[in-house]
Structure 1
Amino acid sequence: MLKQLYSLVVLVLLSFSLFAQDASREMVDPAELGGPILATYPINWQYTPEAVLYDNGPYFNSPGGGPDSADGSILQTSLGLNVLGFAHQQSANFRVADDFVIPAGQIWTIQDAVFYAYQTGSTTTSTITGVNVRIWNGQPGVGTVIFGDTVTNRMSATTWSNCYRYSDTNPGTTRPLMRQTVTLGVTLGEGHYWIDWQSSGSLASGPWVPPITITGQASTGDALQYGSGAWNPIIDNGTAQTPQGLPFSLNGTMGTLQTKSLKIVQNNDQVKVFNTTAYTTGSYKISFMVYIPSGKAGYFNTLQTFAGNNSDWGMEVYFDANGTGRCFGGSATAQTFSWTAGQWNMVEHVVNLTTDQSQFYFNGQLVKQWQWTLGANGSGGPNTLHAVDLFGATANDQMYVDNFKFEDVTLEAVIFYDDFEAYTAGQQLACQAPTVWTTWSNAPCGPEDGMVSTDYSYVPVELTSFAAKVNAAGQVELNWSTATELNNLGFQIERKVVNGEFLPIGYVKGNGTTTEVKEYSFTDRTVEIGKYIYRLKQMDYDGKFEYSPEIEVDVNPPLQFTLEQNYPNPFNPSTKIKFGLAENTNVKLAVYNLLGELVATLINNQLSAGFYEVEFNATSLPSGMYIYSIETPVFKEVKKMMLMK
């Protein structure tokens, strides 16, 4: 059933007196309040981007009910609300923040975020020029920044959202809301996070961010605003004095933790004993892959002897949440190194009992070398090797371990090997294992994979082609192939505009090790008209990577008007409609049922030449066939689409 929600549609210009009183927000001028209710509109759908991981709330509450049949984001003064938008402009050093939660057992690869802002007095051509972003592992000012900074402009696109912001007593078109797509490319594990952002624009007013807007609801969240050196709750300062949330969404892919392999959390002490008694001669190598989500930490140590509280520590390694690693060996002073969250890294520890030497390597680079019998902190210990301890030292520890290998370097023989389960980027593995695993029979998370040969043949990742083309919808299609692959985790796709910086925009899983020809493809659906440069970052399971040659693509305006078939089709409940305009023109894009009744007006305004993509959400509609049409003064076309619930 469609819910009929009564909204008042009005837009107000900001008075200089109110602006001077509180520069952190744009408020309604009291002289413009008290007008009549103009219309009634159904609230039955809203735009939602593809692959949405998280949506914090709607930015409009009157679809199709705004000026010129655009959507309306209506400030409800009837509820005692008074603020049209909150400052987050870079020029005055205002910022805003809101929180999100990644559920237990999930890992999110966040490709981009979508924010909303306006500058009073702009047209529907966006005046937003930049957005910088940070992600915290706790409330801003209390937690730690685990991604981003305050200077890098991460905005990849800015367009009119087909929505105006106004109060319920004065409609108008001077506050068109712009939608900003911001490239992130960060992988996060389960936890409670805060994202904060700041925008810049070419006009004097703002940019301002609207609050979450829900008809009949005065309080919409717990967002924060930074100004004058402090973070404070965002409160609408009308008579209601209610806290507000901010609309944003996170887009990307979600990985679900599997049921095998090692997950190390606080007080989860996993010990691998190499032999019943400690080794006293020979040279040995311990290696494994480690994955730690952003904002989390990890720890392990190598034991000269394992005897509970009376054990002897030969080395300790900490992975601190800020991306700094610390290796203690032979001295109470740690050797620091850098590690990368959200990806698999290779750990290697070599102990030569014959020469009394030890080396710790991280991602193939030597971090520290020392005399083994000095022990972890330099106080001394026996010239023996007995075990490795993977331990959750703090409440923030969350470390995944796989491909655990123990080798006799002297004999070139693998003594113990267990990969637990295959893993891929964004899909890590986890289990609760026995406290001590000493033999094949009780290694954690079995079944075991058995001993493996050390006679490896070298098979490189050989890239034989890498090409790009622009399709009819204005999207860039990337295609590449390999002749052979060794240890290939996958390909990170990176893009930059000319004279810009490369940023990750996607990921394609590799095929591990193979001598067969493999074909890959990726479609960049977020480009606008202009020149772009692409490259591939081929990543191995051991953390090593290599870049492909760069290719340049020129996305030109379409030569003709087009209307593409919606995708997916059939759909439930959302689908995308793409079209191309060969020239600047008035455009109406609408959806009808088979009786010819208008279901939704998606666009009805002047647009520039170029490619466009619109999301249609049919949550409140019944299953069946629908018709969507595009109409300009010189072009008209209709297509069918099927909603299946």
Structure 2
Amino acid sequence: IKQLAYQRHLQGINPFTGAVSLDGSQLPQVGGHESIRPGSSSSIEDLLSYNVYRSDNGTSFDMIANVLSPTLTYTDNDVVNGTTYWYYVTAVYNEGESGPSDTVSATPIAPSEFFDDFESYAPGVQLTVQSTNWTTWSGTPGTGEDPFVSDAQAFSGSNSVVIVQNNDLVKTFGSLTSGKWKISFYVYIPTGKAGYFNTLAGFTPNPFNWAMECYFDLGGSGRLLGGSSTAVTFSWAPDTWQLVEVIVDLNNDLAEFRFNGASIHTWQWTLGASGGGSPLRLDASDLFGATANDQMYFDDYGIEEYIVGIGDDQPQIPAEFSLQQNYPNPFNPSTVIKYALKENANVTLTIYNMLGQEVKTLVSAHQAAGIKEAAWDGTNNSGAQVASGIYIYRLEANDFVASRKMLLMK
């Protein structure tokens, strides 16, 4: 006789989906009716359904769903990120409804976009000693795997991080299994040096799995492994900052590698780096000093939810507000700034210099939800050309505020 299960414990809560998943694991009591257990004289047919109850204060519960047997799971999508919810379930039989199960709670959270320009760290000191946002392959700060913050090169500000032989720096993402994501950063490799990084579909505590690998070989030749053991080649330039982008669309099992704004390669994500297969998951970035020649500086590292699908330039209504990196960057004479509005909003997009002084207001209007863009031609509010240098652009949309840096080079 099949064991009766019902939703008692929360399992598999995905904090990146804005939903709470309930999974059955225990047996209820139904008043004086003994619960169905293996070997009992009752049958699974005695169970009709489950009622799911929810509260947003832990005391007052409302029934939100009736789940027909034998389904043992339920996902609550009608939740607000950052709000704690309490749940219990009951079992419904011909004789009536059981008492409540144990009460459990969960707090769904929104995807956390991450950005680090390394300006808050001390140069000459290893990164993971100073920051818990980063880790090493073995999780041990201060060892040879831990790279140093450097002020020898920087894309913005005065600091970057340099990856040399045996450094093994990891940025984890929390085992993303859905959504479209863009990892981006700038790299600088001196003449006569090389570099390497990879993106992982599996990292601790998951089994290690390489979903793509990128080599910056000596002499300006690059190799990308994505979906096949045959590398896709590209070129890179020494002694200059260049933009790296890895776009992973977990909803459609697609990935794309872009270098300096140009699409180099698109592949099926679950084929893995060399075609041997990967899980449909985005777990971490790994920046590794693979050889004695490796000396790769990187700066302005970020991961953000991506709005436009790979191979599809048609915008959609975004799920969240966001501000994207301008393109091109560095730029001369003009650049384009894209941003996303999840709802109609009062929008202000303003350019500031590094002293915090306003340079130009690009947008000051009420705008409808959608993907937007604004161009800046390097002029101030008076129409005069501004000097080369780093500028900050700041987006305010309802309660959302975000800013990024860009570099004007003449």
Larger Cα-atom Rg: 1
What TM-score range do you get, normalising by the shorter chain? 0.3 to 0.5
TM-score w.r.t. the length of structure 1 is 0.27
TM-score w.r.t. the length of structure 2 is 0.41
